[in-house]
Structure 1
Amino acid sequence: MDERKPLLLKKSYKTIRGKTQLGYEALHIERPVYQIDEFNKETLYEKPFIPLKTKIKNSANSVNYKQCIFNTLPILKWLPEYNFKSSILGDIIAGITVAIMHIPQGMAYGLLGGVPPVVGIYMAFFPVLVYTLFGTSRHVSMGTFAIVCLMTGKVVNQYTTIEIMQNGTLNHLTSDPNTPQYTNVQIACIVTFTVALIQIPMYILRLGVVSTLLSETLVDGFTTAAAFHVVASQLKDFFGIPITKRRGNFSFPLTIFDAAKALPQANLNACIVSFITSTCLIINNELIKPWLSKKTRFPFPIELVAVVFGTLASLCLNFQDNYNISIVGHIPTGLPNPSLPAFDMIPNVFMDSFVITIVSYTVTMSMALTFSRKLMYEVDSNQELLALGLSNMLGSFFSCLPITASLSRSMIQQAVGGVTQLASVVSCCILLVILLWIGPFFEVLPRCVLTAIIIVSLKGILFKITLIKKYWKLSKWDAFVWIVTFGITLIFQISIGLAAGVVVSLLSIFVQGYKPYTCLLGLIPNTDLYLDIKRYKAAQEIDGIKIFHYSGGLNFASRTSFKNLINKKVGFDPQEILTKKSRDIIDGQEISLITKWVMLDFSCLSYIDPSGVELLRQLQSDYKKLNITLYLVNLSGPVFEVIQKCDKTLELDSKFIIFPTIHDAVLYTQNYLKNE
């Protein structure tokens, strides 16, 4: 039996400048010089091959139906293992805390989505119960998220023809009888349904990896610009100014222009309420909250306090009648009746819904992965698509906007002791009480209070604009992606900005891959180490040999770039010399005295296609006419197999000369010179 033992290095000690240091004896290896065919025969090389029939059989045999059920319903996996003694108290406290946060945030972001504020509380109840069953993240708080609500609100404003007013009455925005009539809630519901319609097929096709298309740079630039859109959309209620909602391209600059123009008509009373609310929130966030975090892990519910005090002040002083301050208006009690979305609107909202899907999923996955890495448990990216899809599917029948994980609520839920999604169940129970009985209390809440909560909560995202300095120092390409994404999102529409960001990100990857790292290698004397001669000054080029190192892929797209790079590094273009019929002279010297061998180090070649092999054939032919020999060295298994397959298919007599290492190729040439 062949027993393979690990290679042991013999330790040695040496004295350098009076200090004894641990070292190792010099490395001595004795073996013959190999070409690739001999090397493969000696090492028993064999391409792995599994018949398709065997793959299907193994796949069928590996299916564990019990495990599939557990993976589809993760609650069946973690709930039986739930430790009530150590975890239930933390989940109850976290649920109560998050429910308190849901009230002001839900109402504020519902308003941001162009629907009645109570919809934000619906979003924290119906979809969250479904996510508890199917979600794999134990700590994310699902519900409203400012950016997604704003994006949905853009679609709602575009297609709504009947607006539900504060007192529950309907306001017809168009008098054209031929125009289909849809309320703002109906448009929001069909967006939510379409998002679910995209997420569930993505789960079936295992497309959870799609979130990797959105890099951190792109997401930062996009969310920062979207936050400015959110602020612009809230200026009307914040200052109490009479401006109309802008739609389509250039909505942000036009809204800022309208607001600046209408500022002399601002409602002073609304400005005072907004200023007082904002000041209190900022003082709490900047001073009280950091101090309180050192004393206790329970945050002070400043947003809820602002909502309660704003409601009481409006109730006592009658803000709407006496001071002309807009209020939230009618909040229905009880749960909404289920209704079918307007399916005929799916083609109209599909593209916007697709963008919302990608943003919602990316934000949720980034939050879920943050907690899973911190607390050491697994999150399934594809299962999250199913959980979000089913949650939104149910929510679309109960007047909900698309749900997303919230950064602030999720952080609080974990910080105050939340262990599992049972915290969300506790939160839903509390919100159910509010929906059934307490909701009408908030009908007189000034809208400017909710607006102040929204704007202050976005402070962290707005200040991400300073990250451009960091990206510029780290990578000019990252900075370029950030600037393009931010600029187009801000000036044009959110969906266009995201699409532009993805295109620029992919372009940056292509351009950086199109010009990969290349260099000429030289030998470190008395070793078998070959290093970049520009970076390692001790490395010396070998007379008559050019060793070209290439990192990247060699295919139809990069073959021209590869050819230009090798000609530049080696110092001449063989085709140009052959065309000019000056085969023997370059700068007054014979080619044979300059270069006899060109070695291509493909140790970092990630991929090659038949077009790339054809280019190598062309190079080999051109060099041969100039009495130069081309060697290929350090080929990976897949690259070697592609070249071998091309050789068999074309049935060529002249094959490439391939060596397993650079040193084999160099020693082979030196032996060739001795034998001449």
Structure 2
Amino acid sequence: MSRESKLARFFRIFIPISYWLPRYNVKQNLINDVIGGLTIGFLNVPQGMAYASLAGVHPVNGLYTSLFPPLIYMLFGTSRHVAIGVFAVVSLMTGSCVVRILDEMQKAESPIEAVDIIKIIFGLLKANRLISLLSEQIIVGFTTGAAIHVFTAQLNKIVGVDLPRHEGFGKIYNMYRDLYISAIANKGCNFPTFSLSFGAIFILYMLKYKITPYFLKKLRIPVPYDLMCVVLGTYLSYRFDFHGKYNIKVIGKVPTGIPLPVVPNVTLVHRVLFDAAAIAIIVVVVTISMGKLIAKKQKYAIDTKQEFFAIGIMEICSSFFPCWPSSTALARTLVNENAGTKTQLSSIFSATVLVSVLLFIGPYMELLPTCLLSAIVIVALRGMFAQLRNLFVLWKLSKADWAIFTVTLLATVIYDVIPGLFIGTVFGMLVSILRLQKTQLEMFYACPLFYFNCEKFEKEIIESGVEFFKNSGPFRSSEEMQMIDKTDEESPALKKSLVLDMQGIPDIDVSGINSLLKVHSELFVHGIAFKLKNPNGNCIH
């Protein structure tokens, strides 16, 4: 292989934009990318500002977080539809860490420097090894518990009272106690703020989840209700002097311009290692799972290993700007897909919206009521609260999965977000150990007279095209990834069937069932039959 071809292969693998951009089809893709990019840009403005309070920083930092990371991901990422930006759970985890270490940052100019430290450690971590410890139920239980924290953190802004931030055991209890004392016992509730917040929540909920699904089914471009709420709220605040007459809090001065890169303060690296690891796990799991979901739906593939690299580079590079760790979100990514986006180039057009706000429109948003941003956050949590329905489904299908979900959820709610993730992970590992001491996945190829183990012997692929896997333990998502990865090592054209021998699998949980369905779907795309052999009674549902 020539040096030129090696160099081209390097750029194609590690900088994918160098491969797909020269082959970009302007006629087929440009209009769709423009529409999709502008749609996400209009969505990022209110969401970025709203989630800033969770991270403990100024709302303008939310605009920066929605601007810089997506542009970096565009260079290195392989998903065409993942919409990088702010994510409620990651914002909350970042804010919890910032509050804990802020007192130690004597040389820091602002909380965003603590965030920069988190992002640098995040980018250097081997997150692909960390996520192998988490099952689907741990992630779902954790994000559901975190949603309760996010909801609780918005209530004081909804009623217009100031509360101290709490961390550690009993955090939510302490927040509700302080809220009761300040808003009810001491009669500190600001009724105009509460009325404006309640009205915004009711109208946004009805428009998003009741009216739009029935009357605007054929509308291709989603309606930017959040942005409309921000614009209308700002106008009404200016017109009727909400801050002066009714003491409704507003976001205040919004800096204009694009910030220059600054080397982060890394003196407190040792204080955020655990927090960075927890945040890295959530970001990687959410981003890659969403990327795979949309990629299968749109019939293209993403490079999982490159995604790990892209996310790490994205977080390291964006740490030189006043951002907090970024991620994708289910709702935003689905909006990106439904808007017709075709490639990562849509990030350019999304960035134009944010740059316009930062350069020209920012000063006009200084009178935006902060309670409206909290209303936007609360309405956006609907999908995460819907995950509570999993409790009833899991109880019927797998008591072990139900226990993992419940323990992770309760630990997150009763203790705090990052300790809750740790407790759920440890409990999930204990459940896995009880299920089986050791799980081994072996790959076999068919031969007329015998089978040979491909892990122990180097032999040529048999022309029959039948591939055998044998698993000695419960089938989970980790085995699913191994099967797909090992199958992809050889050309799919050489294979006709893949057989999983289930004789050594004592039971299968909900995650295992979903994993089998994913393997079947992945192989079906390549025209490969997926068959099960010798399933026992516990594996038949």
TM-score tier (shorter) = 0.7 to 0.9
The equivalent of 2:535 in structure 1 is: none
Instruction: Say yes or no: does 1:286 pair with 2:209.
Output: yes
Instruction: Say yes or no: does 1:119 pair with 2:61.
Output: yes
Alpha-carbon displacement from aligned partner over 1:488-530 (angstroms, at most 9, x marks no partner): 01111211111121122222222111599xxxxxxxxxxxxxx
For 1:260 and 1:366, the matched residues in 2 are separated by: 39
The equivalent of 2:488 in structure 1 is: none
The equivalent of 1:241 in structure 2 is: 161
Instruction: Say yes or no: does 1:413 pair with 2:336.
Output: yes
The equivalent of 2:245 in structure 1 is: 322
For 2:108 and 2:78, the matched residues in 1 are separated by: 40
- How far off is 1:313 after superposition? 1.0
- How far off is 1:179 after superposition? 4.9
For 1:239 and 1:312, the matched residues in 2 are separated by: 21
Instruction: Say yes or no: does 1:189 pair with 2:109.
Output: no
- How far off is 1:349 after superposition? 1.3
Aligned amino acid, residue 282 of structure 1 = Y
Instruction: Say yes or no: does 1:360 pair with 2:283.
Output: yes
Instruction: Say yes or no: does 1:225 pair with 2:167.
Output: no
Alpha-carbon displacement from aligned partner over 1:411-431 (angstroms, at most 9, x marks no partner): 111111100011111111221
The equivalent of 1:426 in structure 2 is: 349
The equivalent of 1:392 in structure 2 is: 315
From 74, 77, 83, the equivalent of 1:135 is 77
Instruction: Say yes or no: does 1:86 pair with 2:28.
Output: yes
For 1:306 and 1:71, the matched residues in 2 are separated by: 42
Taking a change above 3 Å as real, the CA distance of residues 134 and 437 of structure 1, as seen in their structure-2 partners, is same
Q: Is the 1:218–1:485 contact (alpha carbons within 8 Å) kept by the matching residues of 2? A: yes
For 2:124 and 2:236, the matched residues in 1 are separated by: 44
For 1:317 and 1:135, the matched residues in 2 are separated by: 46
Instruction: Say yes or no: does 1:489 pair with 2:416.
Output: no
- How far off is 1:458 after superposition? 0.3
Alpha-carbon displacement from aligned partner over 1:337-381 (angstroms, at most 9, x marks no partner): 322211101111111111001111111011101011111212122
- How far off is 1:182 after superposition? 4.8
Instruction: Say yes or no: does 1:349 pair with 2:276.
Output: no
For 1:292 and 1:487, the matched residues in 2 are separated by: 39
For 1:415 and 1:209, the matched residues in 2 are separated by: 33
For 2:132 and 2:30, the matched residues in 1 are separated by: 35
Q: Whose helix proportion is higher, 1 or 2?
A: 2
Q: Is the 2:41–2:351 contact (alpha carbons within 8 Å) kept by the matching residues of 1? A: yes
- How far off is 1:209 after superposition? 5.7
Taking a change above 3 Å as real, the CA distance of residues 66 and 208 of structure 1, as seen in their structure-2 partners, is farther
For 1:465 and 1:506, the matched residues in 2 are separated by: 22
Alpha-carbon displacement from aligned partner over 1:553-589 (angstroms, at most 9, x marks no partner): 7xxxxxxxxxxxxxxxxxxxxxxxxxxxxxxxxxxxx
Alpha-carbon displacement from aligned partner over 1:312-346 (angstroms, at most 9, x marks no partner): 11111222221111111111000113222111011
- State the structure with bigger RCO (CA 8 A, min sep 6), 1 or 2: 2
Q: Is the 1:292–1:299 contact (alpha carbons within 8 Å) kept by the matching residues of 2? A: no
Instruction: Say yes or no: does 1:108 pair with 2:41.
Output: no
Once the two structures are overlaid, the 10-residue window that deviates more, 444-453 or 212-221, is 212-221
Equivalent residues in 2 for 1:520-669, closer than 5 Å = 552=472, 604=503
Alpha-carbon displacement from aligned partner over 1:200-247 (angstroms, at most 9, x marks no partner): xx2xxxx63643432221111000000001111111111112321112
The equivalent of 2:448 in structure 1 is: none
The equivalent of 1:152 in structure 2 is: 94
Aligned amino acid, residue 69 of structure 1 = F
From 386, 389, 393, the equivalent of 1:463 is 386
Taking a change above 3 Å as real, the CA distance of residues 347 and 288 of structure 1, as seen in their structure-2 partners, is same
Aligned amino acid, residue 12 of structure 2 = F
For 2:432 and 2:108, the matched residues in 1 are separated by: 46
- How far off is 1:180 after superposition? 4.9
SS at structure 2 position matched to 1:294: coil
Aligned amino acid, residue 78 of structure 1 = W
**Count of residues in Structure 1 that have an aligned counterpart in Structure 2:** 444
For 2:218 and 2:182, the matched residues in 1 are separated by: 46
Unaligned residue ranges in structure 1 (runs of 5+): 1-58, 162-173, 517-549, 554-601, 607-676
Aligned amino acid, residue 194 of structure 1 = I
SS at structure 1 position matched to 2:280: helix
For 1:319 and 1:158, the matched residues in 2 are separated by: 34
Alpha-carbon displacement from aligned partner over 1:145-201 (angstroms, at most 9, x marks no partner): 01001100111122224xxxxxxxxxxxx9xxx955552121122222221232xxx
Taking a change above 3 Å as real, the CA distance of residues 224 and 603 of structure 1, as seen in their structure-2 partners, is closer
Aligned amino acid, residue 185 of structure 1 = I
For 1:181 and 1:120, the matched residues in 2 are separated by: 19
For 1:87 and 1:210, the matched residues in 2 are separated by: 37
For 1:511 and 1:182, the matched residues in 2 are separated by: 49
For 1:92 and 1:180, the matched residues in 2 are separated by: 43
- How far off is 1:83 after superposition? 1.5
- How far off is 1:469 after superposition? 0.6
Aligned amino acid, residue 385 of structure 1 = F
Rg (Cα) greater in structure: 1
Q: Is the 2:11–2:19 contact (alpha carbons within 8 Å) kept by the matching residues of 1? A: no
Alpha-carbon displacement from aligned partner over 1:393-427 (angstroms, at most 9, x marks no partner): 22111100011012111111111110001111111
Taking a change above 3 Å as real, the CA distance of residues 452 and 131 of structure 1, as seen in their structure-2 partners, is same
Q: Is the 1:388–1:403 contact (alpha carbons within 8 Å) kept by the matching residues of 2? A: no
For 1:435 and 1:133, the matched residues in 2 are separated by: 23
For 1:277 and 1:289, the matched residues in 2 are separated by: 16
The equivalent of 1:505 in structure 2 is: 428
For 1:97 and 1:326, the matched residues in 2 are separated by: 29
SS at structure 1 position matched to 2:366: helix
From 450, 453, 461, the equivalent of 2:376 is 453
SS at structure 2 position matched to 1:143: coil
Taking a change above 3 Å as real, the CA distance of residues 472 and 119 of structure 1, as seen in their structure-2 partners, is same
Instruction: Say yes or no: does 1:252 pair with 2:172.
Output: yes
Taking a change above 3 Å as real, the CA distance of residues 442 and 191 of structure 1, as seen in their structure-2 partners, is same
Q: Whose strand proportion is higher, 1 or 2?
A: 1
- How far off is 1:605 after superposition? 5.6
For 1:514 and 1:151, the matched residues in 2 are separated by: 33
Query: Please, what TM-score do these two structures have when normalized by structure 1?
Result: 0.63
The equivalent of 2:524 in structure 1 is: none
For 1:304 and 1:479, the matched residues in 2 are separated by: 38
Calculate percent identity across the aligned residue pairs. 35
SS at structure 1 position matched to 2:308: helix
For 1:193 and 1:323, the matched residues in 2 are separated by: 43
For 1:551 and 1:260, the matched residues in 2 are separated by: 55
Unaligned residue ranges in structure 2 (runs of 5+): 440-469, 474-500, 506-541
For 2:233 and 2:152, the matched residues in 1 are separated by: 23
The equivalent of 1:626 in structure 2 is: none
For 1:380 and 1:208, the matched residues in 2 are separated by: 13
Alpha-carbon displacement from aligned partner over 1:228-287 (angstroms, at most 9, x marks no partner): 011111111111123211122221121122212322221111101101110110110222
Taking a change above 3 Å as real, the CA distance of residues 351 and 209 of structure 1, as seen in their structure-2 partners, is closer
SS at structure 1 position matched to 2:325: coil
For 1:403 and 1:190, the matched residues in 2 are separated by: 14
The equivalent of 1:298 in structure 2 is: 221
Q: Is the 1:159–1:182 contact (alpha carbons within 8 Å) kept by the matching residues of 2? A: no
SS at structure 1 position matched to 2:268: helix
For 1:469 and 1:489, the matched residues in 2 are separated by: 19
Instruction: Say yes or no: does 1:211 pair with 2:131.
Output: yes
Query: Please, what TM-score do these two structures have when normalized by structure 2?
Result: 0.78
- How far off is 1:123 after superposition? 1.1
SS at structure 2 position matched to 1:333: coil
